[in-house]
Amino acid sequence: MRIKSIFERIAHNWPVKILAIAAAILLSQFYRNSTLEERYFSVPLKLMVDENYTPSTPYPHVARVSLRGPADEIFLILEDDIEVFIDLRERQNEGLYRAPVQFRKTGTASYVEPLEIRVEPAELTVALERKLRRSLAVFPNVVGFPEKGYELGQIFLNPERLDVEGPRSRISTLNTLITEPIDITGKTEDFFGRIAVEREDDLLNFPGGDIVEFTVKINESIILRTFEDIDIISLDLNPLLEIVSQETRGTVKVQGNLALLEEPGNIRITLDAGEIQQPGTYVIPTRVDVPLGVLVLEYEPREVTLVVSKYTEEAEQ
């Protein structure tokens, strides 16, 4: 009778009691949720595939992670404590695969309870192709121009070839590799450095690294140039004498640096009249004066006929 009385008491007005229990559970859950904090950050998204395969289309390399947990613990979690990955290691055929984005708790995150974790994107579609490796020649990408009067000489790269690997369809179409720009603007002397190879996309990988050393040779610009109508200048003539007749123009062909040969004023034809002491007609050899570093190839005339007379004031006037 006593047991029956207990059951009757429990069953008495049971709908109200069930509602009360449900309300208590809801209030408890509400209180629990009100004490939890949310936190967001981004972490690297790792793609795990069989060693003979590689992705052949771009995919996100970063995932957004949402954490919800106790306020005094959730901010102790480091970004490295959440590992996000896609596991396609069992896929060993070329094709398009859809897989969930998974996560793994490590470090501080392993001890936080309760802890809700959400990852975006939740799943990804990845195309896989067989991995191919080739050794390709590297060529310099030179931009700009040296200082005026200078020109680009040789460029040396070390190493001259690099190994590159990636999806079969991509690697099979590559013939060469190009460095990032090497700027020679305003250069007047040799220089060297280190530079990376340009990556056309993130699907390419360089097992031995993508850096090459370069040496750039800058040379003076050497040109051939012919100057015409060059003045012929008589030097050291006795002041008591004067030139009545003389050839006054000549031609000079030279080789040298561009900057030195821009103006004909740097070049002149001269003759030494210092030994002439009496009026008369003289044939004097000529010479060419040029800046240091300029080579005279040809010039005319090789000699000049001078007609010399006594100096008079009337001639000067």
HEC-encoded secondary structure of 210-278: CEEEEEEEEEECEEEEEEEEEEEEEECCCCCEEEEECCCEEEEEEEEEHHHHCCHHHCEEEEECCCCCC
Specify the pLDDT at position 28.
47
CB 280 within 8 A of CB 247: no
Which has the closest alpha carbon to 283: 307, 316, 260? Answer: 307
Task: Tell whether 207 and 241 lie within a shared domain.
Answer: no
Give 33 or 301, the one with higher predicted confidence: 301
End of a domain among 101, 130, 159?
Answer: 130
CB 79 within 8 A of CB 53: no
CB 208 within 8 A of CB 163: yes
Specify the pLDDT at position 313.
62
Instruction: Calculate what percentage of the chain has a pLDDT beyond 70.
Output: 87
pLDDT, tens digit, 9 for 90 and up, residues 152-205: 999 999 999 999 999 999 999 999 999 999 999 999 999 999 999 998 788 899
Query: If you count DSSP H runs as helices and E runs as strands, how many of each does the chain have, helices first?
Result: 5, 20
Specify the pLDDT at position 208.
92
Task: Tell whether 86 and 125 lie within a shared domain.
Answer: yes
CA distances from 141 to 157, 177, 179 (A): 11, 10, 6
Task: Tell whether 241 and 207 lie within a shared domain.
Answer: no
Residues present in the chain in total: 317
Task: Tell whether 243 and 308 lie within a shared domain.
Answer: yes
Count other Cβ atoms within 10 Å, centred on residue 248.
Answer: 14
**How many distinct structural domains can be found in the chain?**
4
Task: Tell whether 49 and 29 lie within a shared domain.
Answer: no
* CATH number, residue 204: 2.170.120.40
Task: Tell whether 215 and 228 lie within a shared domain.
Answer: no
Q: Round to whole Å and give the CA distance between 38 and 115.
A: 10
Task: Tell whether 216 and 226 lie within a shared domain.
Answer: no
Task: Tell whether 226 and 311 lie within a shared domain.
Answer: yes
Residue 2 is which amino acid?
R
pTM value is 0.64
Average pLDDT, the chain: 86
End of a domain among 205, 220, 235?
Answer: 220
Domain span at residue 215?
Answer: 132-220
Specify the pLDDT at position 48.
94
